Structure 1
Amino acid sequence: MRKTILTTLSIFMLTGQLMAQNVTRESIKSAEKMLDLNFTDAKRDSMTDILSKNIKTYAFLHSQNFKNDVPLPLAFNVDLPGLVVPKKQLPVYFNIPANVELPKNSNDLAFYSIPQLASLIKNKKISSEKLTRFYLDRLRKYGPVLHCVIELTDTIAIAQAKKADADLAKGIYHGPLHGIPYGIKDLFAVKGTHTTWGTPPYKDQIIDETCFVAQKLQAAGAVLVAKLSLGELAEDDVWFGGLTRNPWDISKGSGGSSAGSSSATAAGLVPFAIGTETYGSIVDPSMRCGVTGLRPTYGSIARTGAMALCWTSDKVGPICRSAEEDAIVFNYIHGTDKKDASAIDFAFNYTGSVDIKKLKIAYVKNYIDTLPENSTEKQTLATLKKMGATVTGINFPDNLHGDETLSLIIGVESAAAFDELTRTNQDDLMVQQGKDRWPNTFRTSRFVPAVEYLNACRYRYQLMAQLDPLLDKYDVIITPPETGDQLAITNLTGNPSVTLPNGMLKNNMPASISFIGKHFGEAKLLAFAKAYQEYTGYNLKHPAMFK
């Protein structure tokens, strides 16, 4: 058996070394069993010389030792025929309240909204430096409790805060993020910091680059206070510092992989944070931690300077405590620097108001109708009816193999992104070594033929075209965050969604709901979510331990 496995590995590039023996008819026959193929001996004979020569090509490719930042020059986009991408950008205004006062209890400042903090700074009732030091102190105090901080960026933060104060003194105001602290998931490179990707093999990594998102936020006057935890290489919520904790119950995990971004935001350690999603990594921790996470349309934010996991599915998004704050942050970070081939410029014409009665709203009845009458999902429908909405029931297709397709695509692309990690056996250093964790996923994905990967991508396009009439028919589709196949499918199609608090469960953990939107429909989607939050107030609840 060992001889058969090694021969198969030579065909599928796992060793990275030129094997001494040639590929034989018998080794091809063994490999066929894993690939759902069945050739005749004559056909196998005709392949041996070519496959033997291929090993030399594999060895050459292995010698290149591609780093994670070498892009895939085959850009994926969601531009189906007939899709209209809004291009005319209108002025966007955010309401900054005029009469905000500092709280009597300084701890209450931790849960002030971005508009409230912006009012304090703009009206010089608090300096950015003082506010920054306040959040740095909370990060030092509670970061070790939640295991949500990989690195404090004190030096960068104080320098940026002082600049924000100096600009304001000169009459220069950059907008509602001016002087506002934030945290960023530690798969984004920022000059002067470690970028660990949450795993021991990269624990000491320093990348001499500042990512697109951090550059955009710096231009908006925001202040970076921390690199926040993520599950190893953006999987789950376990990293080399342990399990990132949920601030509602620290015996539980915060969900992955934007674990620290959600945990820190929910606990009031930062006003907002930046996360990423490949397959649920904004939706899941937002759901578990009771925050409001926006997973934007694929390609709406350039990923330059971010760790590549799956080029055709990685997305960047804000994690905040309200939809209005998501809109503020998204307004300043969306767009492209022309380096990320999948990112595009489009108009985000957010007004903050929407006529609920005129929206086309649907709910996924095959997920919700069977739930108890007192479920938070059914209460959502009742609430929307009170708000004047008309909600149509639809069935979301659950037999389209979305999970298998997306998992195969992610597996292959992530194996390529971390090719060197696998071939050098540095994956042995990773904390998580289970059969369903990255080290084994990278290894097993080497056995996926290029033909099958490409056909999975073709099936993805077919799926997008098939579902576009349903998904882009409605302004909002209401669904439980992780029920059925919709999470996989909407990641495949690239549709945006916002996941937000939706009351409390019997175990005193936050309930959540997801609203799915049209491609590039973030403005209307977030305005709808804002209206729902203003009516319900669910997002104003915070974990008691951190008040």
Structure 2
Amino acid sequence: MKPTRRIVLFISAITAVLLLGMVLQEKGKITLTKDMIAHAEKLFGLQFNEAKRDSMLESLQEQLGNYEAMRKIKLDNSVAPALQFNPIPVGFKIDQDKKSFKPARLDNVIPPPALEDLAYYSVSELAWLIKNKKVTSELLTKMFLDRLRRYGPKLENVITITEGLAIKQARKADAEIAQGKYRGPLHGIPYGVKDLLATVGYKTTWGSVPYKEQLIDEDATVVRRLEEAGAVLVAKLTMGELAWGDVWYGGKTRNPWDTTRGSSGSSAGSASAVSAGLLPFAIGTETWGSIVSPSTECGTSGLRPTYGRVSRYGAMALSWSMDKIGPIARSAEDCALIFNAMYGPDGLDKTLVDAAFNYDASLKISNLRIGYLKSDMDRDSTRKAYYDTTLAVLRKLGAKLTPIQLPQYPVYDMAIILSAEAGAAFDELTRSGKDDQLVRQIKNAWPTVFRASRFIPAVEYIQANRIRTQLIQDMQSLMDTIDVYIAPPFEGDNLILTNLTGHPCVVVPNGFTERNLPTSVCFMGKLFGEAEILALAKQYQDATDYHKRHPGLRF
């Protein structure tokens, strides 16, 4: 037995050396073979004969050299591809006629007996109190800073408290208001940002171990615009690591309604903090559900704007053709106030479109053509009763509802677009092996997705985007017949489909389960139609009180 075993081992070693010699050239470069091509074909669902493989060898070897040469060029995450996604269908007319912004008018807001009772006041209510000098921004800011310190560790929703900056900005706001210089409804209002937005003087960790010490010493456009509006940045909030889920390098962000549950994500800390009354509003991002999902879980109101509405300059890139930035707040009206300070071209993000945002809180609902995804709502049996109640409220408000169906496309298969772009955005992380440092190392997590994305052929990525062009046109044909439609947050194709087409969404709470957990519904609009869906959602919230409920925080 032993001599035979030695012979086998010897032959195996010789074979390994020969194979290694076949694969490697001088200086460690890989030499491709026809057998490699044959095996690779199976990954892509293709089949070529021997002659075709032989004729490809030289080109494939050359391409491999191209890749190696290009990898020597350092590409920061902020460098966007030269090819830019355009969600605008053929024949679509952009409304650039900007009219006055018309939020609801508040005549009088009564200050509560205790300062901390302001924790769950809306942005518009706090704005009235600050403008009318019933409370100072500094007092309000210190109150929210205290709540962030007290409840943040249990909820695991805060990465950095920006106290020095916050006090400075609050005092500046108070001084300006005292001098009669009132900037608008965000002046003096504390807020937080998802920790993928760069801020001068503070780390931007992306919620991830490899980047936890990262300092990007500039302000993202959104941060700068909110500062110009007078808002006070008090915290950088948790996010699912590299914008997936609610697990980050410091733990798992919690749902304030039930701390045994995660907040969902990836705008985890933004939704959790607003829900818990740690902030009046926060900024989140969405590529595929990252505003809708945590807002649903935590019972907040969120706006995912049209692709090309809000500058992503200074934000972590995950998918250049799908990333969007929007507010998470207590109400749709608050989202309108915040969005009004955020949107529009900045000369830095080349995907932006100069379109009007003509919000009018008193919009007449009966003038809107409103559809709803009846089949999806009926299929979501556990939530159907909540959708039926929502539709009944809208009908009572004067809405005329028409059942509709979305264009039928393989949208989940088209999600390779996101995977390919994410793989490119974190190419260096994968090739360096530092993806081993990410917290989640299960199959359904970023390290595996980034690695697998290397096997998405460029041809298939382009084909998916060509199908996307047809989807955009067909979606426009549908939106020509309606102004707004109502959708469940997750059932069916709507969430991924509209993230691919770039359509806007407002998500608001529409009920509570027997376990006292929030449920939600989505108001979907035309491209650049945020004004209509926000006004409709606002009037729905005026007729309900789900958004006014808040968790007890008994811990």
TMscore range, shorter length: over 0.9
Cα drift, residue 18 of structure 1: 7.6
Pair 1:114-2:123 in alignment = yes
Measured at CA, do residues 373 and 51 of structure 1 come closer, stay the same or move farther in structure 2, by a change above 3 Å? closer
Equivalent position SS for 1:401: coil
Partner residue in 1 for 2:446: 438
2:385 is matched with: 375
Change (3 A) 1:278 1:521: same
Q: Indicate how the Cα distance of structure 1 residues 273 and 373 shifts in structure 2: closer, same or farther if over 3 A, else same.
A: closer
SS in 2 for 1:436: coil
Q: Helix, strand or coil for the counterpart of 1:183?
A: strand
1:47–1:258 Cα change, 3 Å: same
Greater radius of gyration (CA) = 2
Q: Which residue of 2 aligns with 1:474?
A: 482
Corresponding position of 2:234: 225
Q: 8 Å contact 1:254–1:289 — kept in the other structure?
A: yes
* Alpha-carbon spacing, 1:250–1:339, altered in 2? closer, same or farther (3 Å): same
Contact 1:267 1:546 in 2 (8 A): no
Of 533, 538, 541, the match for 1:530:
538
Q: What is the aligned counterpart of 1:389 among 391, 399, 423?
A: 399
1:133-144 → structure 2 map (5 Å cutoff): 133-144=142-153
Q: In structure 2, how many angstroms separate the alpha carbons of the residues matched to 1:107 and 1:264?
A: 15
Quote the residue 1:131 is aligned against: 140
What does the per-residue CA deviation read over 1:143-170, in whole Å, with 9 as the maximum and x for residues that have no partner?
Answer: 0011000100111111111111111122
From 43, 62, 71, the counterpart of 1:62: 71
Task: Give the AA of the match of 2:441.
Answer: Q
Aligned pairs for 1:154-233 (under 5 A) are 154-233=163-242
> Which of 376, 393, 414 is residue 422 of structure 2 equivalent to?
414
The alpha-carbon deviation at position 78 of structure 1 amounts to 1.4
Tell me whether 1:243 sits opposite 2:235 in the alignment.
no
What fraction of aligned residue pairs are identical, expressed as a percent?
A: 50
Once the two structures are TM-superposed, the CA of residue 274 in structure 1 deviates from its matched residue by 0.4
User: Is the CA contact (8 Å cut-off) linking 1:156 and 1:225 kept in structure 2?
Assistant: yes
Query: After the TM superposition, which residues 456-467 of structure 1 pair with which residues of structure 2 at under 5 Å, given as runs?
Result: 456-467=464-475
Cα distance in 1 for residues equivalent to 2:43 and 2:143: 57
What is the deviation of 1:19?
4.7
Paired residue for 2:371, among 357, 362, 366? Answer: 362
Conserved in 1, the CA contact under 8 Å of 2:101 and 2:358?
A: yes
Runs of 4+ in structure 1 deviating by more than 6 angstroms, as ranges, are: none
The aligned length equals: 535
CA distance in 2, matches of 1:252, 1:18: 53
Q: TM-score, normalised by structure 1?
A: 0.95
RMSD: 2.0
Question: Partners of 2:501 and 2:554 in 1: how far apart?
Answer: 38
Cα distance in 2 for partners of 1:383, 1:94 equals 22
Q: Deviations over 1:167-207 (max 9, x none)?
A: 11221110000000000000000011100000100000000
- Offset of 1:372 from its aligned partner? 7.4
CA displacement 1:268-305 (0-9 Å, x = unmatched) = 10000000000000110111111111111111101000
Q: Distance in 2 between matches of 1:435 and 1:391?
A: 42
Identify unmatched segments of 5+ residues in structure 1: 12-16
Separation of aligned partners in 2, 1:32 and 1:291: 47
Asked if the contact 2:240/2:267 (under 8 Å) is kept, the reply is yes
Q: Please state how far the C-alpha of 1:100 moved relative to its aligned partner.
A: 2.0
Structure 2 Cα separation of the partners of residues 395 and 91 of structure 1: 34
What letter is aligned with 2:386?
T
Does residue 514 of structure 2 align to residue 506 of structure 1? yes
Contact 1:178 / 1:220 at 8 angstroms: preserved in 2? yes
TM-score in terms of structure 2 length: 0.93
Q: Is the 8 A contact 2:377 2:384 kept in 1?
A: no
CA distance in 2, matches of 1:318, 1:282: 8
After superposition, the C-alpha distances for 1:39-92 in whole angstroms (9 at most, x for unaligned) are 121111111122112222111111113110111121112111121111121121
Equivalence for 1:349: 358
Segment drifting more, 416-425 vs 46-55:
46-55
